[in-house]
């Protein structure tokens, strides 16, 4: 068990580092012509594959904990218009892409992609399959709310080429789901998983959240026990990120009473223990996979990678081109984010404009910091000399870029979060729970600020 002093000391707001620099550093003055230039340049950037992210923001109702860019469906026409805009955005962007490059990953995220008629998703996949060549065994992933899946819908998703399904479960306890305004799936989750896995290439991930009202160490233990019986290929236990200054509906949960950070930590640790006992391999802070899964093999071989869509392997990593509201393209040297409002997005595309809102061009130093933080978050270890060699710079220069000092590290070493020998940092078991705090050590942009980031635990 983590002692309370350490927990209180490190349970502070820190970036999640799903990107570096984090999205709050993106700037508004990004122009359409800049984006086109970056897309064209990205044709020769590394990694060379094309990864496509499609954002479907729609949901039937909003879960009170939700931190995603999601909205309710105002009219059926809006969905028709949205998918028309998506197709046109794909056309506008892909005419600048070198189609000799292959697609390695397609990811439909949300919101709830499976809340719309499946024909809309089929059409988008058809368009992408017609436009591009693919690598062998590409990842075609979709995030689904199980409450809105039925057998016909699943058959059509499988036939449309989807092979990775991520189901949002959050908790099996019906009182918890009710407290957060979430519908229960009519088809039991074990049956959904079995049905999807009738396709030999399909893998299923289940998402859970700890830190919600009504949850306790015991109730979360029961939920994860049940999940282990279902045996999904992957499972994620997200720490509830409470950011009510960004997501006003989360205030409802604070009023219902949130578990303390000690209780949250207990839920996390209990889940971790039984998942490992149940044969799962931890990947990063909160992902668990069955042995033999591509991610666990990649972890062993130092080939694990991470982007806004979560962990992936070097095999499927590419330059990410993102479509739809609030979607973020992740190119080797730039991030570009689309507008967040559905109506504005549709209108911009109708006017034949790329719907971009903000972005960030990374300088050479930021690219180095990003590599260092990604490696740390993926592998829980870091060889500074190796990173310096990879970028063809000397160690002294690398240390100055990441503002490295022995003193900064010492406090973390004294608290048992990491070790440092021969320019190699190794994160301890306790340290892995505070990996975001450790990453801040190397982040020259990080400043301690309230109401900017969610807390570590
Ligand atoms: C786009 S949703 C998944 C698909 C579908 N909308 C659903 O809810 O079933 C992505 C995942 O983000 C996680 N999530 C959403 N808001 C969160 C928050 N505030 N803190 C932590 N995890 C969150 C949930 O586990 C959710 O399953
Ligand atoms: S968690 Fe999923 S279903 Fe719930 S509001 Fe967010 S995106 Fe929609």
Closest CA to 146 of 180, 109, 115: 115
Model confidence at 285, pLDDT cuts 50, 70, 90, reads confident
Q: Is 185 in the pocket of ligand 2 (CB under 6 A)?
A: no
| Interatomic CA distance for residues 177 and 170, integer angstroms | 8
Q: Is 180 in the pocket of ligand 2 (CB under 6 A)?
A: no
- Report CA(226)–ligand 2 centroid distance (Å): 22
| Residue ranges lining ligand 1, Cβ < 6 Å | 65-68, 109-112, 143, 145, 168, 170, 207, 209, 238, 240-241
Residue 284 lies in a domain: yes
Q: Looking at the structure, tell me whether residues 297 and 203 fall in a common domain.
A: yes
| Interatomic CA distance for residues 239 and 457, integer angstroms | 7
Closest ligand to C-alpha of residue 107 is 1
Which residue has its alpha carbon closest to ligand 2 atom 1?
66
Q: Looking at the structure, tell me whether residues 241 and 387 fall in a common domain.
A: no
Q: What mean pLDDT comes out for the span 160-169?
A: 98
Q: What mean pLDDT comes out for the span 239-256?
A: 95
Q: Which domain-ending residue is among 321, 340, 361?
A: 361
Residue 51 lies in a domain: yes
Task: Give the per-residue pLDDT at 451.
Answer: 65
Task: Give the per-residue pLDDT at 454.
Answer: 80
Residue 456 lies in a domain: no
Q: What are the φ/ψ torsions at residue 149 (nearest 5 degrees)?
A: -105, 140
**Structural domain for 379, as ranges:** 364-440
Q: Looking at the structure, tell me whether residues 290 and 314 fall in a common domain.
A: yes
Which residue has its alpha carbon closest to ligand 2 atom 5?
62
- Report CA(371)–ligand 1 centroid distance (Å): 26
**CATH for 402:** 1.10.10.920
Q: Are 380 and 426 in contact (CB under 8 A)?
A: yes
Task: Give the per-residue pLDDT at 1.
Answer: 64
Give the orientation angle of helix 217-230 with respect to helix 189-196, to 10 degrees: 30
Closest ligand to C-alpha of residue 114 is 1
- Report CA(368)–ligand 2 centroid distance (Å): 34
Q: Which domain-ending residue is among 325, 344, 361?
A: 361
pLDDT above 90 for 453: no
- pLDDT single digits (tens) 321-367: 999 999 999 999 999 999 999 999 999 999 999 999 999 999 999 99
Q: Looking at the structure, tell me whether residues 261 and 346 fall in a common domain.
A: yes
Closest ligand to C-alpha of residue 189 is 1
| Closest ligand 2 atom to Cα of 66 | 6
pLDDT above 90 for 271: yes
Q: Looking at the structure, tell me whether residues 351 and 374 fall in a common domain.
A: no
Q: Looking at the structure, tell me whether residues 251 and 237 fall in a common domain.
A: yes
Q: Is 145 in the pocket of ligand 2 (CB under 6 A)?
A: yes
Residue 5 lies in a domain: no
Checking DSSP bridges between strand 102-110 and strand 133-144, what pairing results, if any?
Answer: parallel
- Report CA(81)–ligand 1 centroid distance (Å): 25
- Report CA(168)–ligand 1 centroid distance (Å): 6
Q: Are 160 and 152 in contact (CB under 8 A)?
A: no
pLDDT above 70 for 450: no
Q: Looking at the structure, tell me whether residues 269 and 333 fall in a common domain.
A: yes
pLDDT above 90 for 58: yes
Q: Looking at the structure, tell me whether residues 270 and 403 fall in a common domain.
A: no
Q: Are 50 and 97 in contact (CB under 8 A)?
A: yes
Q: What mean pLDDT comes out for the span 83-103?
A: 96
Residue 35 lies in a domain: yes
Residue 451 lies in a domain: no
**CATH for 94:** 3.80.30.20
For the chain, how many structural domains are there in total? 2
Q: Is 29 left (phi over 0), alpha (psi -120 to 50) or beta?
A: alpha
| Interatomic CA distance for residues 404 and 377, integer angstroms | 17
Q: What mean pLDDT comes out for the span 167-194?
A: 97
| Interatomic CA distance for residues 182 and 176, integer angstroms | 9
Q: Looking at the structure, tell me whether residues 33 and 61 fall in a common domain.
A: yes
Closest ligand to C-alpha of residue 110 is 1
Which residue has its alpha carbon closest to ligand 1 atom 8?
168
Of residues 90 and 452, the one with the higher pLDDT is 90
pLDDT above 90 for 3: no
- Report CA(144)–ligand 2 centroid distance (Å): 9
Of 77-86, 188-197, 253-262, 307-316, give the lowest mean pLDDT range. Answer: 307-316
For a substitution probing ligand 1, which of 58, 143, 242, 324 has the most ligand atoms within 8 Å of its CB? 143
Closest CA to 58 of 148, 158, 125, 166: 148
- pLDDT single digits (tens) 379-402: 899 999 999 999 999 999 999 999
- Report CA(268)–ligand 1 centroid distance (Å): 17
- Report CA(170)–ligand 1 centroid distance (Å): 8
pLDDT above 90 for 30: no
Q: Is 299 in the pocket of ligand 2 (CB under 6 A)?
A: no
Q: Looking at the structure, tell me whether residues 351 and 368 fall in a common domain.
A: no
Of residues 305 and 172, the one with the higher pLDDT is 172
The mean predicted confidence, pLDDT, of the chain is: 94
Q: Looking at the structure, tell me whether residues 400 and 285 fall in a common domain.
A: no
Q: Which domain-ending residue is among 361, 379, 403?
A: 361
Q: What mean pLDDT comes out for the span 262-275?
A: 94
- Report CA(166)–ligand 2 centroid distance (Å): 13
Q: Is 113 in the pocket of ligand 2 (CB under 6 A)?
A: no
Q: Is 59 in the pocket of ligand 2 (CB under 6 A)?
A: yes
Q: Looking at the structure, tell me whether residues 254 and 392 fall in a common domain.
A: no
Structure tokens at 176: 């918890």
Q: Are 245 and 451 in contact (CB under 8 A)?
A: yes
Residue 447 lies in a domain: no
Tell me the percentage of the chain whose pLDDT exceeds 90.
Answer: 83
Residue 10 lies in a domain: no
């Amino acid at each position: 068990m983590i002692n309370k002093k350490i927990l209180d000391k490190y349970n502070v707001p820190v970036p999640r580092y799903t990107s570096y620099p984090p999205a709050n550093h993106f700037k508004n003055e990004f122009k359409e012509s800049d984006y086109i230039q970056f897309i064209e340049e990205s044709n020769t950037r590394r990694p060379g594959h094309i990864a496509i992210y499609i954002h479907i923001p729609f949901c039937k109702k909003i879960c009170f904990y939700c931190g995603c860019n999601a909205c309710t469906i105002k009219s059926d026409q809006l969905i028709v218009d949205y998918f028309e805009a998506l197709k046109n955005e794909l056309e506008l962007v892909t005419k600048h892409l070198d189609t000799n490059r292959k697609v390695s990953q397609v990811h439909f995220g949300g919101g709830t992609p499976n809340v719309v008629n499946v024909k809309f998703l089929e059409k988008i996949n058809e368009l992408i399959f017609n436009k591009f060549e693919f690598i062998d065994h590409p990842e075609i992933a979709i995030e689904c709310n199980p409450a809105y899946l039925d057998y016909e819908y699943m058959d059509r998703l499988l036939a449309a080429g989807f092979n990775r399904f991520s189901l949002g479960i959050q908790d099996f306890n019906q009182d918890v789901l009710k407290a957060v305004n979430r519908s229960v799936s009519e088809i039991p989750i074990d049956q959904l998983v079995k049905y999807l896995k009738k396709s030999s290439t399909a893998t299923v991930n289940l998402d859970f959240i700890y830190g919600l009202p009504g949850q306790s160490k015991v109730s979360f233990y029961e939920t994860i026990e049940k999940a282990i019986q279902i045996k999904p290929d992957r499972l994620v236990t997200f720490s509830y990120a409470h950011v009510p200054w960004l997501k006003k509906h989360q205030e409802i949960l604070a009023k219902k009473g949130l578990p303390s950070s000690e209780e949250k930590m207990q839920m996390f640790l209990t889940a971790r223990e039984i998942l490992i006992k149940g044969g799962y391999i931890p990947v990063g802070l909160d992902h668990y996979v069955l042995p033999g899964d591509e991610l666990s093999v990649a972890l062993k071989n130092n080939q694990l990678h991470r982007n806004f869509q979560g962990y992936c392997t070097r095999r499927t990593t590419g330059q990410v081109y993102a479509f739809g509201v609030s979607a973020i393209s992740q190119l080797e040297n730039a991030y570009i984010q689309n507008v967040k409002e559905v109506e504005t997005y549709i209108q911009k595309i109708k006017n034949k404009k790329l719907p971009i809102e903000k972005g960030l061009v990374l300088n050479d130093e930021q690219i180095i910091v990003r590599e260092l933080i990604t490696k740390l978050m993926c592998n829980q270890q870091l060889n500074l000399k190796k990173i310096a060699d990879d970028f063809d710079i000397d160690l002294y220069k690398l240390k100055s870029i990441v503002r490295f000092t022995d003193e900064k590290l010492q406090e973390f070493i004294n608290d048992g979060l990491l070790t440092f020998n021969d320019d190699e940092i190794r994160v301890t078991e306790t340290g892995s729970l505070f990996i975001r705090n450790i990453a801040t050590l190397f982040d020259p942009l990080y400043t301690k600020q309230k109401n900017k980031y969610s807390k570590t635990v």
